[in-house]
Amino acid sequence: ELLSSNVSDPGQIARAIYDVEEATSIAFDIIFEHKMIKAETRASLIKFLQLLAAHHPSRRCRKGTAEFLVSFDDLYPTDFWATGKHDKSSVKNLKICGKDVPRGYWMFCRGSKNETRGFSCGLWVLLHSLSVRIEDGESQFTFNAICDFVHNFFICEECRQHFYDMCSSVSSPFKKARDFALWLWSSHNKVNVRLMKEEVSLDTADPKFPKIIWPPKQLCSSCHLGLDQKNNKIEWNQDEVFKFLTEYYSTTLASLYKDS
């Protein structure tokens, strides 16, 4: 009960496919609502759409993003911003994951308070799901697409800055999908560790879902090699972590919802 959905019920993740759709749909609603597509962000959105069209775990989001891509040049021609006529009311109603989404509620990412979890949890689950669906040859593209998307379109200012710093500290291109998935996992854990400390003093925490270094032993015992006593840090078996991530975000997530 203490660690709630992070630990107690691995089967819960299967319900996260709904939240991945919800987060995708809300992300685009925010982009349209706040007119975030600009001359300087256009290319990065196209990149992220390409990634989603190929690898989003939900078929209907793949379809919606592919359709948006097909009409992107008509909706946002490169001279769009120069003309000064920016009424895109048709785009405002664009439902990227089909007409039923957003549904207005969260499943796996539901917080115990209205203002906790939800969208940012759903976005993480989407990003991890993408990281275990790509091939080696797409790993650097995926890294760029995700880093630029978060930097340009994530509504949380502090998050985009922190994430951008982590992206900027990567010095050599990713060649393996495994390395990218592990980088994302480790970056998420860095955020978790920071929030473990910060949330003590902030009111933004969800008491039912305390931040943890993930995955805990209860979810993946083979991932844990032990504790490095000197640094007080967990030593990981990265092969096992990658196996676990793939299982968790690919097989389990997709199992309930193959045809969506």
Q: How far is CA 72 from the centre of its chain?
A: 23
- Min CB(206)–ligand FAD separation in Å: 6
What residues contact residue 27 under an 8 Å CB cut-off, 6+ apart? 119, 123, 153
Q: Note every long-range contact of 240-243, with CB atoms under 8 Å and residues 24 or more positions apart, other chains counting.
A: 241/182, 241/185, 241/215, 242/178, 242/181, 242/182
Nearest to ligand FAD of 120, 237 (CB atom)? 120
**Segment interacting with ligand FAD (CB under 6 A) among 24-32, 69-77, 94-102, 188-196:** 188-196
C-alpha 197/C-alpha 40 separation (Å) is 35
**For residue 128, which of 43, 215, 231 has the smallest C-alpha distance?**
215
Calculate ∠ Cα 196-198-204, nearest 5°.
95
φ, ψ for residue 205, nearest 5 deg: -75, 155
Q: Which stretch binds ligand FAD (CB under 6 A): 52-60, 67-75, 116-124, 222-230?
A: 116-124
Minimum distance, C-beta of residue 79 to ligand FAD, in the bound complex (Å): 32
- Counting contacts by CB under 6 A, is residue 49 touching ligand FAD? no
Residue with smaller CB distance to ligand FAD, 81 or 244: 244
Q: Does residue 191 bind ligand FAD (CB under 6 A)?
A: yes
Near ligand FAD in 56-115, by CB under 6 A: 109
User: Which spans of this chain sit near ligand FAD (rule: CB under 6 A)?
Assistant: 5-6, 109, 117, 120-121, 123-125, 128, 150, 158-159, 162-163, 185, 188-189, 191-192, 195, 206, 209, 214
